[in-house]
Amino acid sequence: MRQESPFETIKTKDASLPERTAEQISRLIVEQRLTSGDRLPSEFELAEMLQVGRGTVREGVKLLVARNVLEIRRGRGTYIASDPGVVEDPLGFAYYPDKFRLAMDLLEVRAQVEPWVARTAAERAGEADLRRLRETCAAVEQDILAERDHSVSDVRFHVAIAECTQNLVVPKLIPIITYAIRLFVTLTESRLKMETLVDHRELLEAICTQDGERAAAVMERHLDYNRALLEKLRAALAP
């Protein structure tokens, strides 16, 4: 029989009925090992399983849709989201008014995390990981050389590095890194295109050759370039 933790008991007791239902559905997803793209039981089936009304199930599902755990496909049913529980701006960065200050603070955090991520990626990446890393690196290069916006492919490259670590937690940090990259590209108007291209190539080579120290050093240099440019731009805008 499954044991509830004291924290879970307190949370369940204080929650509303739709919130408790959302928690039960979340538990069901874990216990049945449902993953991205799997279909959730129907509203009627869930109501029977959880012993609640269909309206309550509907409200619980809405809560999980808002948290990016579920997605509703019209006429087809409710499915597990592509990256359950991960939202684009989980910490509300969009509401910080000083974007240069935010970008610098994000870089400060990235400087503590991403060199370790790059080193660990080099040490643990499998063949499938490296294949995806090569593909995303090539996509960034194609965008830069074609003078297209490369922010989306840049994010995918960093996601691929995170996945190379084989660490369950690291990919969950990606929304923070994603926001930082997009903010940097917006503030700098993509001024570091060639530096990005060179650094990405070196990162790819270091990770593919399992050279963790070099991968960490290249990532540190990459972030240093970003920091220097931001400081220069902020100084130019100062009154």
Instruction: Summarize pLDDT for 27-40 with one digit per residue, the tens.
Output: 888 888 888 888 99
Instruction: Report the candidate in 105, 108, 84, 88 with the shortest Cα–Cα distance to residue 96.
Output: 105
Angle value at C-alpha 162, between 34 and 216, nearest 5 degrees: 160
Phi, psi dihedrals of residue 90, rounded to the nearest 5°: -65, -25
Exposure string over 200-231, b if 16+ CB within 10 A, otherwise e = bebbbebbbeebbebbbbbbebbbebbbebbe
Domain shared by 215 and 139, yes or no: yes
In a domain, 200, yes or no: yes
Which tens digit of pLDDT belongs to each residue from 143-157?
999 988 888 888 889
**pLDDT given for residue 7 in this prediction:** 35
| Angle (deg, nearest 10), helices 212-237 and 174-188 | 40
In a domain, 1, yes or no: no
Domain shared by 211 and 166, yes or no: yes
Instruction: Report the candidate in 2, 60, 112 with the shortest Cα–Cα distance to residue 69.
Output: 60
pLDDT exceeds 90 at position 113: yes
pLDDT exceeds 80 at position 4: no
Domain shared by 184 and 140, yes or no: yes
d(CA 204, CA 207): 5
The end-to-end CA distance of the chain, in Å, is: 66
**pLDDT given for residue 88 in this prediction:** 66
Average pLDDT, the chain: 86
DSSP code, position 70 = E
Domain shared by 120 and 216, yes or no: yes
**pLDDT given for residue 15 in this prediction:** 67
Domain span including residue 50: 6-80
Angle value at C-alpha 213, between 207 and 219, nearest 5 degrees: 70
Residue carrying the six token digits 């084989």? 166
End-of-domain residue from the set 45, 80, 115: 80
**pLDDT given for residue 151 in this prediction:** 82
Q: Domain of 45: which CATH number?
A: 1.10.10.10
